[in-house]
Amino acid sequence: MTKTILGLSGSLRRASFNSGLLRAAADVAPEGVTIQIGSIREVPLYDGDLEAASGLPTAVRELQSQLGAADALLLVTPEYNNGIPGVLKNAIDWLSRGEGLGLFVGKPVAVIGASPGGFGTILAQNHWLPVLRTLKTDLWTQGRLMVSRAESLFDDQGNLTDERTRESLRKYLAGFASGL
């Protein structure tokens, strides 16, 4: 039986290291696991007045549907100013609205990320902890993947070119998927 992991990149940049890491994850997913790449690009800034007037935006409803159908969630997070990216936090905030909160409860979640800095995305990954606890997710903590010095590991289009990192990603995903 195939397991599905919804993958979300926290970057909107065309040649994003994190979007490239997510694409690589889809390529190296273990047998029997599919990583469905979702998009946060069309998710508007959260506005309670918009929600009250119009309900959940179409992009949010689509992501909620994908999350509901997935066996797990993979967040691929950049680190901006030692924290989580606003666009990804905004998307998660929207996803948790209405019936969406229940989609997170008990959902296996893993967090990885890539950064040009020397520490990878350690602070952003740690910054996600209270958010994921609040949503009552089943956070996978048996491995970590923080890709540092990303500019030397990805090409100009944001594709992962480093085989050592690809192998680390493969092992990480195998560990995460083994519990699904």
Predicted TM-score of the model (pTM): 0.97
Number of domains in the chain: 1
Over the range 73-96, which residues count as b (16 or more CB within 10 Å of their CB) and which as e?
Answer: bbbbbbbbeeebbebbbbbbbbbb
Q: What is the CATH number of the domain that holds 61?
A: 3.40.50.360
pLDDT, one tens digit per residue, over 86-108 is 999 999 999 999 899 999 999 99
Instruction: Give the C-alpha separation, 52 to 143, whole Å.
Output: 40
Structural domain boundaries, residue 15: 3-178
Question: Which region holds residue 81: left if phi is over 0, alpha if psi is between -120 and 50, else beta?
Answer: left
pLDDT, one tens digit per residue, over 18-76 is 999 999 999 999 999 999 999 999 999 999 999 999 999 999 999 999 999 999 999 99
